Amino acid sequence: MPSPTDRALSTPLKLLLYGLLGLVSFLVVIAAVRFVFGLFFGLIGLILGLLSLAATIGFLAAIGYAVYWVASTVFSQDESTASTTSAAQTQAEHATGAASASETDSVERLSERYAKGEITEAELERRLEQALDEPSLDGSGATEAEWNRELN
């Protein structure tokens, strides 16, 4: 037999309570689905944002490299020209130094030969004048063959 409480709840009231329970359940499910989709699309948005950031950094890096390449190409020509000029100056200074060193060597050799009595004073003066006035074309002084010819 039905209890007095069951009898007190009529069928329309039961329908109303069950309907209210169904509506609350439906709203809870909708909120849960909305939360899950919010997380999902938020994660997708985060991933797309990071990809966009990476693409922007890559694009800026490419532009920076292009500017670096152009600048290094322009300025490396100046550096190569400067280094070529510097190398030419260094070679000229070296040749001058070599010529003066070879002149000093020839003067010393002639002085030694004169001191030993191998050549006369006139011969010494003539050879000194020749050695000091006419350095060789390469700046290295007289060649070994010239010295041998001169000494003999």
Residues, the chain: 152
Tell me which DSSP letter residue 138 carries: T
Numbers of helices and strands, H then E, in the chain: 4, 0
Per-residue CA distances from 19 to 8, 14, 25, 119 (Å): 18, 8, 10, 138
SS3 119: coil
Q: pLDDT truncated to tens, each residue of the chain (152 aa)?
A: 556 665 666 788 888 999 999 999 999 999 999 999 999 999 999 999 999 999 999 999 999 999 999 999 888 865 555 555 566 666 666 555 555 666 678 888 888 888 998 888 888 888 888 877 765 544 555 555 565 565 65
